[in-house]
């Protein structure tokens, strides 16, 4: 393979487990094992003095040092209120996640004997702007060039559409991970992968099943011992029960019962958890995934998609027989397929990165031949001649078919709605959505509003994110993600026109432009969320990360 070809790795930054992959010389995605010879790495971080330990060893130490171990950090991405303190230093979710990324990348470097700089990182489809920006910053703190953030179900569909099928079909991707649930309808075609609709909940996943087991164990301990203590207030006991619950859950995927020992305050209780009981205490969680699935299918029907051809189960939490049985019951006409649940997302991200890299090379060569800039080639969708594709195939070592396959178009949708606060005819504040959820991205929307009063000097534009598909909604149903102030010329009458434009790119990054029509005064803002690490704190995190030993 040519040294000029830039290899872009794919990373599944998961709630409970993470993985890294690349595309080999045959155009096939390959998972890279970590230093412990595991194909996936626990997303657990152990602060051990001046060292940071990530993965299985960190998970094992959680039992001994529960206050020095951080797990499930993905659920706090984009949360401005989350701070972890260790040895008088505070750490944000982005920085802790960067340690997981560095572990994956460092181990892959050692395994492959090559540098890794460029990556594609996945996130739940239901992540909003704050969470996506936090994910990107985690990569930046880790010293990586994050080429793109893509949705996990889309990555799984890319892996399926590239590796498993070349036929046109509509696929439902049911993605239940360790901490998140996504449901997406995706139209796979020979020349395109189109996401039709997406839905889900980024606080619903395997950990919730673990928590139900933990609560059951507490109840059984209290019943057997007569204790009324809240044993979860003890950090050691809480951590021990979390690990026992995860182990029992995995056991119950293979066996009908799992014995668990609960120890606290010198007393012990032996609990036998059956599969039937496990399914009983978690049934409402399964039903939430089914309800969210039907919500998404309702949105898909509005876009003309009333049926699907295949149903893919991905994500580590779909191993449970409970999930397969419930999905089969709900959709009897389509036999669900368990598709590479632990690795599909990382492989799909690698394929997406490979596509980006090949496309970069193709565009560069077309630019050299035509005299157009690379930006013009991209924007004008210039056709790639077969001879250039053949050259790239020869120089990179990929087959011509693989190079042509890299030109498959991938179109995603936005999982949130975006709007501004305005006054309705009753002078009451409402949110007016300009971009509705499940709109194909990139997208560009302009709407005209008016000033409220005569001689108004400024307009404050409050930019809102929400999960509502309606045009108008109450402000309480949305969160503010940015503001902008537009200065107005003097002596304007009331209802003077203001044009507001929203532009949303493929990664979910939002730009807003507001123009006062009479004198064309303008204000533009790219939403840089204040909910993530930034400024001096970001630079400190980068410096600290590079000086830490991570293993």
Instruction: Note whether residue 274 is domain-resident.
Output: yes
Give me the mean pLDDT over the 214-243 stretch: 93
- Express each pLDDT in 347-391 by its tens digit: 999 999 998 888 888 888 888 888 888 777 776 677 778 888 888
pLDDT score at 481: 87
Mean pLDDT, residues 401-417 taken together: 82
Which of 183, 195, 175 has the alpha carbon at shortest distance from 313? Answer: 175
Q: Do 231 and 257 reside in the same domain of the chain?
A: yes
Q: Are residues 119 and 246 in the same domain?
A: no
Q: Is 409 exposed, middle or buried (0-12, 13-18, 19+ CB in 10 A)?
A: exposed
Q: Say how many domains are in the chain.
A: 4
- Does 143 lie in the same domain as 95? yes
Rounded CA-CA distance 179/157 in Å is: 20
In angstroms, the first-to-last Cα distance of the chain is 30
Whether 388 and 427 map to the same domain: the answer is no
**pLDDT, average across residues 153-159:** 91
pLDDT in tens, 487-518: 889 889 999 999 999 999 877 788 999 999 98
What confidence tens digit (pLDDT) does each residue in 176-209 have? 999 999 999 999 887 788 999 999 998 899 999 9
Range of the domain at 389: 355-411
| Mean pLDDT within 253-275 | 94
In a domain, 546, yes or no: no
User: Residue 422: which of 393, 464, 457, 381 has the closest Cα?
Assistant: 464
Tokens for 308, please give them: 């699907």
Q: Are residues 139 and 231 in the same domain?
A: no
Name the pTM for this structure.
0.88
Per-residue CA distances from 409 to 153, 221, 406 (Å):
16, 55, 8
Mean pLDDT of 113-122: 95
Q: Are residues 255 and 366 in the same domain?
A: no
Average pLDDT along the chain: 90
Give pLDDT, residue 502: 95
In a domain, 435, yes or no: yes
- Indicate the residue among 325, 349, 373 that finishes a domain: 349
Q: What is the DSSP letter of 164?
A: I
Phi, psi (deg, nearest 5) at residue 206:
-55, -30
Same domain, 268 and 370: no
**In a shared domain, residues 13 and 152:** yes
Q: Which of 301, 332, 349 is the last residue of a domain?
A: 349
pLDDT of residue 535: 78
Q: Is 59 part of any domain?
A: yes
| pLDDT at residue 95 greater than cutoff 80 | yes
Q: Domain check: are 13 and 134 in the same one?
A: yes
Which pLDDT belongs to residue 533? Answer: 75
* Residue 332, domain member (yes or no): no
Query: Rounded CA gap, 539 and 541, in Å?
Result: 5
Same domain for 20 and 122, yes or no, is yes
Whether residues 390 and 512 fall in one domain: no
Which residue, of 386, 411, 436, is where some domain finishes? 411
């Amino acid at each position: 393979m040519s040294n000029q070809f830039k290899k872009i790795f794919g990373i599944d930054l998961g709630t409970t487990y993470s993985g890294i992959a690349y595309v080999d010389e045959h155009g096939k995605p390959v998972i890279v094992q970590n230093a412990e010879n595991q194909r996936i790495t626990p997303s657990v971080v152990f602060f051990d003095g001046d060292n940071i330990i990530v993965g299985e060893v960190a998970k094992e130490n959680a039992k001994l040092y529960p206050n020095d171990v951080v797990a499930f950090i993905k659920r706090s991405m984009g949360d401005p209120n989350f701070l972890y303190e260790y040895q008088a230093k505070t750490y944000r979710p982005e920085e802790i996640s960067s340690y997981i990324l560095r572990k994956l990348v460092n181990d892959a470097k050692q395994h492959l004997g090559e540098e890794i700089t460029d990556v594609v990182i996945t996130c739940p489809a239901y992540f909003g702007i704050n969470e996506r920006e936090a994910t990107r910053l985690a990569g930046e703190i880790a010293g990586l060039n994050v080429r793109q953030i893509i949705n996990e179900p889309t990555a799984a569909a890319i892996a399926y559409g590239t590796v498993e099928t070349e036929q046109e079909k509509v696929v439902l991707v049911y993605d239940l991970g360790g901490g998140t649930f996504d449901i997406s309808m995706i139209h796979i075609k020979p020349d395109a992968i189109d996401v039709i609709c997406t839905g889900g909940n980024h606080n619903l996943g395997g950990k919730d099943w673990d928590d139900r087991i933990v609560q059951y164990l507490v109840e059984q301990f209290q019943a057997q011992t007569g204790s009324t203590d809240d044993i979860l207030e003890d950090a050691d006991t809480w951590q021990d029960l979390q690990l026992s619950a995860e182990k029992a859950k995995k056991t119950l995927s293979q066996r009908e019962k799992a014995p668990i020992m609960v120890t606290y305050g010198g007393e012990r209780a032996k609990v036998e958890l059956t599969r039937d009981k496990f399914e009983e205490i978690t049934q409402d969680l399964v039903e939430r995934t089914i309800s969210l699935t039907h919500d998404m299918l309702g949105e898909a029907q509005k876009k003309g998609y009333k049926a699907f051809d295949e149903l893919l189960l991905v994500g580590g939490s779909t191993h449970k027989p409970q999930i397969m049985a419930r999905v089969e019951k709900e959709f009897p006409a389509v036999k669900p397929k368990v598709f590479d649940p632990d690795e599909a997302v990382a492989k799909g991200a690698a394929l997406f990165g490979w596509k980006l890299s090949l496309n970069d090379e193709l565009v560069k060569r077309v630019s050299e031949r035509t005299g157009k800039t690379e930006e013009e080639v991209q924007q004008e969708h210039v056709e790639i001649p077969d001879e250039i594709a053949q050259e790239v195939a020869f120089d990179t070592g990929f087959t011509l078919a693989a190079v042509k396959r890299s030109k498959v178009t991938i179109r995603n949708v936005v999982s949130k709605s975006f709007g501004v606060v305005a006054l309705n005819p009753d002078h009451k504040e409402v949110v007016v959505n300009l971009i509705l959820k499940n709109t194909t991205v990139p997208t560009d929307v302009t709407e005209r509003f008016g000033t409220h009063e005569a001689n108004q000097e400024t307009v404050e534009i409050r930019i809102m994110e929400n999960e509502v598909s309606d045009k108008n909604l109450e402000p309480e149903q949305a969160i503010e993600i940015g503001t902008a102030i537009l200065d107005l010329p003097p002596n304007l009458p009331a209802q003077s026109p203001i044009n507001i434009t929203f532009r949303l790119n493929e990664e979910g990054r939002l730009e807003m432009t507001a123009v006062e029509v009479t004198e064309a005064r303008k204000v533009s803002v790219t939403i840089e969320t204040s909910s993530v690490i930034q400024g001096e704190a970001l630079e400190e995190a980068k410096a600290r990360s590079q000086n830490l030993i991570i293993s």
